């Protein structure tokens, strides 16, 4: 089995290198990742310019585009053969709840939805590499039985790992996405020339973060594993919208 690795922290990120060193022990793997940090890029594709690849000294391929660009090109002709699955990460920073809407880490995994095996998006819930080896061990254990995993087509697993030493992990929990409160107000700034601008501020705290959510699992010391699907159709709203459309007609 061949595995494509990517991320949104950039081709030189320590989490990507740690993931590669882990996966290459048991699988054939190839790395295609952004040439710089593209956190928050979501599923953006670059359509206004050509994308260029650069082979790095460590054998990784960098691309001057988004995480989705990287996986899209890798699966659609850039590589000599099509990989069997995608793993995105190891991201430094959580991707919980509403974060999946913006996350380049999750987006890279989502772009692998057409492959035979479900993609994995792996995040360590810390900006530090102190417990990166914990995330590596979690990935290793998941891949040891990956051939036993059966999921519907176009599915991915969003995995969030607490920032803890391995021996302090409580286990693994199957979770649903929680929801964050509204983000903090943007921060208005003025540059030395008097031009005004804004910094996007911090994300909201967990609002729907009770038992069963990814927020709750990580807070309690468990690895959170949330199955995600592409279909965003709101089926529960059909009857109300159908009644409303009857009035519109």
Q: What DSSP letter does each residue of 211-240 carry, written as one string? A: TTBHHHHHHTTEEEEEEEES----GGGHHH
φ, ψ of residue 190 in degrees (nearest 5): -130, 125
Q: CB–CB of 61/55 below 8 Å?
A: yes
Instruction: Give the SS3 label for residue 15.
Output: helix
Nearest to 16 by CA among 54, 52, 67: 67
Dist CA 45 CA 60 (whole Å):
21
Residue 19 in this model has a pLDDT that exceeds 90: yes
Instruction: Give the SS3 label for residue 26.
Output: coil
pLDDT of residue 77: 87
pLDDT digits (tens, 9 = 90+) for 203-231: 888 888 899 999 999 999 999 999 999 99
Q: Which two tokens stand for residue 92?
A: 């430094």
Strand ranges for 108-213 from DSSP E: 119-124, 155-161, 171-174, 179-180, 187-190, 196-199, 206-208
Instruction: Give the SS3 label for residue 207.
Output: strand
pLDDT (average), residues 221-243:
94
pLDDT (average), residues 29-54:
95
Dist CA 25 CA 4 (whole Å):
14
pLDDT digits (tens, 9 = 90+) for 42-64: 999 999 999 999 999 999 999 99
Q: CB–CB of 103/8 below 8 Å?
A: yes
pLDDT of residue 198: 93
Residue 249 in this model has a pLDDT that exceeds 80: no
Q: CB–CB of 38/67 below 8 Å?
A: yes
Q: Which two tokens stand for residue 120?
A: 């994995």
Please list the helix, strand and coil fractions of the chain in percent, rounded to the nearest 5, in that order.
30, 25, 45
Sort residue 77 into left (φ over 0), alpha (ψ -120 to 50) or beta.
left
Q: Is the peptide bond before 90 cis (omega within 30 degrees of 0)?
A: yes
pTM for the whole thing?
0.93
Higher-pLDDT residue of 199 and 204 is 199
pLDDT digits (tens, 9 = 90+) for 143-166: 999 999 999 999 999 999 999 999
Dist CA 68 CA 32 (whole Å):
10
- Positive or negative, the Cα torsion across 201, 206, 208, 213? positive
């Amino acid at each position: 089995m061949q595995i494509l690795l990517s991320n949104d922290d950039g081709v030189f990120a320590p989490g990507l290198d740690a993931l590669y060193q882990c996966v290459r022990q048991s699988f054939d793997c190839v790395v295609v990742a952004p040439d710089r940090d593209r956190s928050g890029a979501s599923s953006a594709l670059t359509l206004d310019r050509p994308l260029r690849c650069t082979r790095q000294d460590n054998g990784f391929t960098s691309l001057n585009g988004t995480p989705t660009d990287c996986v899209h090109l890798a699966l659609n002709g850039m590589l000599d053969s099509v990989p069997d699955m995608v793993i995105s990460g190891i991201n430094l920073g959580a991707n919980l709840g509403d974060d999946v809407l913006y996350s380049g880490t999750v987006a890279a995994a989502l772009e692998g939805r057409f492959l035979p095996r479900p993609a994995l998006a792996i995040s360590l819930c810390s900006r530090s590499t102190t417990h990166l080896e914990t995330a590596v061990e979690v990935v290793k254990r998941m891949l040891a039985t990956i051939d036993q995993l059966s999921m519907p087509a176009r599915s991915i697993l969003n995995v969030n790992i607490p920032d803890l030493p391995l021996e302090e992990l409580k286990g693994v929990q199957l979770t649903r996405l929680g929801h964050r409160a509204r983000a903090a107000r943007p921060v208005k700034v003025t540059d030395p020339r008097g031009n005004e601008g804004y910094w996007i501020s911090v994300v909201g705290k967990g609002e729907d973060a009770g038992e069963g959510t990814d927020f709750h699992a990580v807070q309690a010391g468990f690895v959170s594993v949330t199955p995600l699907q592409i279909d965003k159709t709101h089926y529960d709203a059909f009857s109300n919208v159908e009644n409303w459309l009857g009035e519109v007609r």
